[in-house]
Amino acid sequence: MSLARNARLSKVSMCCFLQVISQTLVNSNMKRDCAKCSMGKFLVLLLFCGLGYLMLTHTSTTHSVFGGQEKDSNRLKVGDELITDGTSRLRRFLRKPPRLPPRLSPDEIGNVNKSVHVPGKLNTGSKWIDRQHSVKKAFSHAWSGYKNHAMGFDELMPLSQRGMDGLGGLGATVVDALDTAMIMGLDEVVSEAGSWVETHLPERINQKGQVNLFETTIRILGGLLSAYHLSGGEQGGNQTHKGPEPIIYLENARSLADRLLTAFTSSPTAIPFSDVILRDQSAQPAPGGLSSTSEVSTLQLEFNYLSFLTGDSKYSMESMKVLEHMKTLPKVKGLVPIYISPQSGEFSGDTIRLGSRGDSYYEYLIKVWLQNKASNWTYLYEMYDEAMKGVKHLLVQKSIPNGLLFVGELPYGPKGSFSPKMDHLVCFLPGTLALGATKGITKEEAIKRNLLTLEDLENLKLAEDLVKTCFEMYSVTSTGLAPEIAYFNIEGNSEGGLDGGNKSSEYVNDISIKYADRHNLLRPETVESLFVLYRITEDPKYREWGWEIFEAFEKYTKVDSGGYSSLDDVTVIPPHKRDKMETFFLGETLKYLYLLFGDSSLIPLDEFVFNTEAHPFPIQRTNKRE
Ligand code: DMJ
């Protein structure tokens, strides 16, 4: 039916409608009251004419980060233009609250959406909308610094206002930041970053030299895959964002992954080499021959999703061999050493920790299982479950004098002494524990549906205790920003004179910070866990803590000429700035803060799994892989 015919029909039906209404009124009590007064009649008719006009002319346009898929009424309204004929417009007008203004960004949608959104506690109040807006402004400031001084380089050096290639030269900031811009509804940034990917990335992938398999997978491959999804790629190219056709992101992802695969295929065992030479399509071990445990076990979400999207199982098969092999290796109550040999396939050394080189091994066990529940990889859940029991038995202790729970290390294995050292990196763990407990739904819902075991409840409690500790690692310092590493004072192992400088903190005597560990790299782990804990427990204190951290970043790391900088020492004011803005500040830190302050229906945790670089992939409900 043509649009003109539609419009005619809708006008006809509207006239009939008005006739019926005015007839009813004329025959009703109102007639008796007003019949004597022709002015009254006229006013009533005028009122209905106005109403009819509104119904005929009112159209609605919504805008979202998701491509075209219609979700239930509790979720964000998605899709492109909603143009309806007059009749259905009339039905909807009578049924629904006022419509959204045109082209709202997701944070604004969160605001409007609350009028039809059910879970009251998570509705976004205006304070949080303002705060979310501040995060968006911070992202724009970070991007403008990068764009003006370092476009196409891996990272911005905000103080010297130039770029550097610390990650192999694939324009890492562009790709890491892209899906954050999509989520924030920053069309201009999406367009700039997307055009750069389309124009420059294919050549870089062909011609660049050595890159690290893990960093390239989590930042570049992960960023491309989530950009593909968020721009509507899975809806058959129904593009919902500025920038190139979504297929461009997938093509680049595939071309990159085909080269990265050589790290797996050229290794004599299931454990991949740590580096790839892109232009030669060859791979090599790290100096010393060993790979990091976390690096080889933090590739599977990305390679699985690529297999799902392309229908080519090779990516998933190669990457899953790593975890299948690790399942067979001896462990200490589920905990593993931080090095592994691609030559022998065995773990190397005794050091066990959830900080650097160990962290995301534990994160991916549960996330890969959550991503592919249809594949029945229950061994991953069992490995995760056992490891978390090991963490509780061997690594969790309480500080003195005020009893903060923290996760320490076993530098010499289970028979050696315990070290009360905790990397900021360990602060991913509260979020992972909470996710593992409820599988992404709220605690309230999980309890109502009787889904939580005693173990889940214990893990959730541990998550809440640990995220408090992570927050206190920020509040004990003079700047309100956490150091890279903290030591917790315990019986017989207390460091005096190394406090963080905030004498008014309740925990100033519980936490010590060594001189070499006082830097801050704009890392995301604590705000990541605050975001997950807020979504799961709905406790507003996590948002308040996140806001305090954001304000400290604003105060001490913002660079006037554009961008944000790392810091040398968080215990002194003013802190000395370090000339580097890490890509994960845009890819992770600001994204998690934005989501923390926003509506819970934006990237729901039971529908998406975030890779370790905060790139969200949809959870696979079916197993489409070949
Ligand atoms: C990120 O690249 C990832 O989150 C990784 O898993 C750990 N380190 C950084 C952020 O701190």
pLDDT along the chain (626 residues), means of 10: 31 32 32 36 44 36 28 25 28 28 36 31 73 98 98 98 98 98 98 98 98 98 98 81 93 98 98 98 97 98 98 98 98 98 98 98 98 91 98 98 98 97 98 98 98 98 98 98 97 85 97 98 99 98 98 98 98 98 99 98 98 96 51
Measure 218 CA to ligand 1 centroid, in angstroms. Answer: 9
Give Cβ neighbours of residue 199 (< 8 Å, ≥ 6 apart). Answer: none
Report, in angstroms and rounded to the nearest whole number, the Rg of the chain calculated over CA atoms. Answer: 27
Long-range contacts of the stretch 495-499 (C-beta < 8 A, 24+): 499/571
For residue 566, give the H/E element and its range: strand 566-567
CA quadruple 269, 271, 273, 275: dihedral positive or negative? positive
* Amino acid, res. 112: V
C-alpha distance from residue 518 to each of 479, 486, 515, 521 (Å)? 11, 9, 6, 10
Strands (DSSP E) contained in 271-390 are 275-277, 282-284, 291-292, 339-340, 347-348
Per residue in 536-567, pLDDT (tens digit) is: 999 999 999 999 999 999 999 999 999 999 99
Q: Which of 101, 107, 114, 105 is nearest to 75 (CA)?
A: 114
Predicted pLDDT at 125: 67
Cα–Cα distance measured from residue 43 to residue 238, given in angstroms and rounded to the nearest whole number = 47
Predicted pLDDT at 124: 52
Cα–Cα distance measured from residue 519 to residue 537, given in angstroms and rounded to the nearest whole number = 31
How would you class 623 by CB atoms within 10 Å of its CB: exposed for 0-12, middle for 13-18, buried for 19 or more?
A: middle
Residue from 214, 521, 523 whose mutation best tests the ligand 1 pocket (most atoms within 8 A of CB): 523
Annotated active-site residue 302? The verdict is no
547 alpha-carbon distance from chain centroid: 17
Measure 268 CA to ligand 1 centroid, in angstroms. Answer: 28
Q: Which of 236, 249, 256, 274 is nearest to 174 (CA)?
A: 249
Atom 6 of ligand 1, nearest CA residue: 612
Measure 301 CA to ligand 1 centroid, in angstroms. Answer: 15
Measured from the CA of 359, which atom of ligand 1 is nearest? 6
Measured from the CA of 363, which atom of ligand 1 is nearest? 6
Measure 360 CA to ligand 1 centroid, in angstroms. Answer: 8
For residue 512, give the H/E element and its range: strand 511-512
Measure 142 CA to ligand 1 centroid, in angstroms. Answer: 18
Q: What is the pTM of this model?
A: 0.82
Measure 39 CA to ligand 1 centroid, in angstroms. Answer: 72
Atom 1 of ligand 1, nearest CA residue: 613
Residues within a 6 A CB radius of ligand 1: 218, 360, 425, 523-525, 584, 612-613
Please answer whether residues 431 and 532 qualify as being in contact, where contact means their C-beta atoms are separated by less than 8 angstroms.
yes
Cα–Cα distance measured from residue 330 to residue 381, given in angstroms and rounded to the nearest whole number = 17
Measured from the CA of 528, which atom of ligand 1 is nearest? 4
Phi, psi of 277 (to 5 degrees): -100, 105
How would you class 582 by CB atoms within 10 Å of its CB: exposed for 0-12, middle for 13-18, buried for 19 or more?
A: buried
Q: Looking at 192, 215, 234, 588, which residue is catalytic?
A: 215
Predicted pLDDT at 236: 80
Please answer whether residues 584 and 516 qualify as being in contact, where contact means their C-beta atoms are separated by less than 8 angstroms.
no
Q: Looking at 234, 363, 484, 613, which residue is catalytic?
A: 484
Task: For the beta carbon of residue 626, count every other beta carbon within 10 angstroms.
Answer: 11
Predicted pLDDT at 497: 79
How many CA atoms does the CB half-sphere of 238 hold within 13 Å?
A: 15
Please answer whether residues 318 and 347 qualify as being in contact, where contact means their C-beta atoms are separated by less than 8 angstroms.
no
Measured from the CA of 424, which atom of ligand 1 is nearest? 11
Say whether 240 counts as a known binding-site residue: no
Task: For the beta carbon of residue 347, count every other beta carbon within 10 angstroms.
Answer: 21
Annotated active-site residue 318? The verdict is no
Mean pLDDT of the chain: 84
Strands (DSSP E) contained in 173-228 are 210-212
Q: Which of 583, 588, 586 is nearest to 612 (CA)?
A: 588
Phi, psi of 153 (to 5 degrees): -85, 165
Residue from 298, 428, 613 whose mutation best tests the ligand 1 pocket (most atoms within 8 A of CB): 613
Phi, psi of 407 (to 5 degrees): -110, 110
Annotated active-site residue 359? The verdict is yes
Residue from 360, 365, 427, 590 whose mutation best tests the ligand 1 pocket (most atoms within 8 A of CB): 360
Cα–Cα distance measured from residue 439 to residue 436, given in angstroms and rounded to the nearest whole number = 5
Measure 153 CA to ligand 1 centroid, in angstroms. Answer: 19
Q: Looking at 359, 464, 588, 599, which residue is catalytic?
A: 359
Task: For the beta carbon of residue 310, count every other beta carbon within 10 angstroms.
Answer: 17
426 alpha-carbon distance from chain centroid: 17
Q: Looking at 363, 525, 528, 569, which residue is catalytic?
A: 525
Measured from the CA of 525, which atom of ligand 1 is nearest? 11
Annotated active-site residue 350? The verdict is no
Predicted pLDDT at 494: 75
